[in-house]
Amino acid sequence: MKLKDSLFTRRKFLNTLIGGWLTALGATIIQPVIKFIFPPYREPEEVILPAADYELPGPNSFKTFPWGSKPGILKRNDDGSLTAFVAVCTHLDCNVTYLPEQRKFYCACHDGWYDENGINIAGPPPRPLRRLDVIVEGEKIIIRRKGESA
């Protein structure tokens, strides 16, 4: 049935109403389901390493540490300061290694290369390695996400 000046029929109006309501109901059910399926993001805020285990005597020496579920690399620079990287290639998530003789990071998956500062120099990597902040506090080495040091 359609009234003389109406834009749509009564059936169309009711169908839209019921359809819209069902869509809204469906959305309120789907939203938590999707939120549930994706696990909470679990990158650590900071990682504390005992300084005794990470002495790194000479320049250009390095050691790996666990950064959540990814490897990290802590490296002694020529000026004696420390730099930390997330040791994961920016290309396709492979773990990288540091080659001290060549002063380069190397990713074996697709032959990707980074210089000693983590800058991508050869192969497919699109971005430099991710850097982390390093703070030495007495017996502890605190490694934090970049820019979040208090």
Partner 1 sequence: MPKQSFREWLETRLGWGQIVNFLQKKEVPRHKHTLWYYTGSAILIFLVIQIITGFMLLLYYKPTLEKAYQSVTQIMTEVSYGWVIRSLHHWSATLMIAFVFIHLLSLWILKAYRPPRELTWMSGVILLFLTLAFGFTGYLLPWDELSLAATKVGTEIPSTIPLIGRWVTQLLRGGADVTGDTLTRFFGLHVSILPLSLILVLGFHLYLIQKHGMSVPLREEKQNRPLPSYPFWPNFLLRESVFWLILLGSLITLSLFLPRGLGQPADLMAPAPVGVRPEWYFLFLFQTLKLFPATILGIPGDTIAILLVMVAVGLFFFLPLLDTDPAGRKGKVITWAAVAFIVYAVVMSLWSVL
Q: Which residues bind partner 1 (CB under 8 A)?
A: 32-33, 35-40
Choose between 38 and 50: whose C-beta lies nearer to partner 1.
38
User: What SS3 state is found at 139?
Assistant: coil
Choose between 25 and 136: whose C-beta lies nearer to partner 1.
25
**Residues 6 or more apart in contact with residue 61 via CB below 8 angstroms:** 75, 76, 100
Contact 71, 88 (CB under 8 A): yes
Torsion of CA 51, 55, 60, 63, to 10 degrees: -60
Minimum CB–partner distance for residue 42 and partner 1 (Å): 8
Choose between 36 and 50: whose C-beta lies nearer to partner 1.
36
Minimum CB–partner distance for residue 142 and partner 1 (Å): 24
Choose between 39 and 57: whose C-beta lies nearer to partner 1.
39
DSSP structure class, residue 43: -
Minimum CB–partner distance for residue 69 and partner 1 (Å): 15
Minimum CB–partner distance for residue 16 and partner 1 (Å): 17
Contact 116, 125 (CB under 8 A): no
